[in-house]
Amino acid sequence: MVQKEVVYVVSDSVGETAEFVVKAVATQFNGGHVEIRRNSYVDDFEDIEDVMILAKKDHSIIAYTIVVPSLKEYLDRRASEEGIMAVDLLSPLMNAFTTKFNKEPHHQPGLMRKLDEEYFRKIEAIEFAVKYDDGRDPRGITRADIVLIGVSRTSKTPLSMYLAHQRFKVANVPLVPEVQPPDELFQIPRKNCIGLIISPDKLNEIRKERLKALGLASQANYASFERILEELDHAEKIMKRVGCPVINVSNKAIEETAGLILEILKKERSF
């Protein structure tokens, strides 16, 4: 039986990066005969001393990804004193970044994992916004961070997607006189809901353009002033009943409205 060589992977975070690099290198040397022993979340000198004892006993290599300067310097010094080969997998590239871009690294462990977690939260929020768009499933109302309500063409869907990219789970519900709003809308805290209103003239203009884009007559009831006033009156009554903050989106860009929504939520939730 062939004796496996041992490589100690040491990291002040999880250590996945170092292990991946070691495995990639090991494949070039009949990698099946290399045993990787991972030491994660190393955050003090005692942890490093423990690894030194083991690495010296096994006559092994230490491959490390440590970004905290004091720990890195201590590991380098102790490895040199003990005659252990220690390979820094990050510093050469970090030094190149510093030289090329004239910026200093944060020296903070776990930042890549934090970025990964934020990415997956964003994907989850986007999927949520798609699933609970346009009142498709009222269960989303009670699960959402933000619920947007308003008549058709008040930018509920684009706002939902924009806020989802900021990692907020958003559901939106259209308010139509002929359709009773879902009961869930009156069960959530008022601070979770935002009403979107718009001037009749602006809504008339937007709806006419929408009909034109669909190849339909601009005189359709959807764009008539009578219908618009009826819808806006109905929406205002629902918003008053919910007791939610209201934003007029008449002449606002999506980014501006989203900023106002986040300001309102921050203020409402601070009490």
Asked whether residue 260 carries a pLDDT value surpassing 60, the answer given is yes
Return contacts of 90-93, CB within 8 angstroms, 24+ apart.
90/65, 90/66
Confirm whether residue 103 is marked as ligand binding: no
What residues have CB less than 8 Å from 238, skipping those under 6 apart? 149, 175, 181, 185, 195
Q: Bigger pLDDT: 109 or 138?
A: 138
Q: For 134-180, list the strands marked E by DSSP.
A: 146-150, 170-174
Asked whether residue 185 carries a pLDDT value surpassing 70, the answer given is yes
Residue 267 in tokens: 């203020």
Give 38's strand partners.
9
Rounded mean pLDDT, 118-127: 87
Asked whether residue 96 carries a pLDDT value surpassing 60, the answer given is yes
Quickly state the pLDDT bin for 2 (edges 50, 70, 90). Answer: low
Residue 199 in tokens: 């001037």
Quickly state the pLDDT bin for 76 (edges 50, 70, 90). Answer: very high
Confirm whether residue 270 is marked as ligand binding: no
Rounded mean pLDDT, 87-105: 87
Confirm whether residue 150 is marked as ligand binding: yes
Confirm whether residue 252 is marked as ligand binding: no
Task: Count the neighbouring beta carbons within 10 Å of the beta carbon of residue 62.
Answer: 25
Percent of the chain with pLDDT over 90: 66
Evaluate whether 141 touches 189 at the Cβ level (below 8 Å). Answer: no
Quickly state the pLDDT bin for 79 (edges 50, 70, 90). Answer: very high
Instruction: Say which DSSP state 235 is in.
Output: H
Quickly state the pLDDT bin for 259 (edges 50, 70, 90). Answer: very high
Confirm whether residue 91 is marked as ligand binding: no
Confirm whether residue 224 is marked as ligand binding: no
The C-alpha atoms of residue 174 and residue 108 are separated, in whole angstroms, by 45
Tell me how long the chain is: 271
Q: Tell me, what's the pLDDT at 89?
A: 93
Q: How would you label 128-153 residue by residue, b for 16+ Cβ within 10 Å and e otherwise?
A: bbeebbebeeeebbeebbbbbbbbbb
List, as one string, the DSSP characters of 86-118.
EEESSHHHHHHHHHHH-------TTHHHHHHHH
Confirm whether residue 87 is marked as ligand binding: no
Domains and CATH numbers, the chain: 5-109 (3.40.50.20), 117-268 (3.40.50)
Confirm whether residue 249 is marked as ligand binding: no
Quickly state the pLDDT bin for 77 (edges 50, 70, 90). Answer: very high
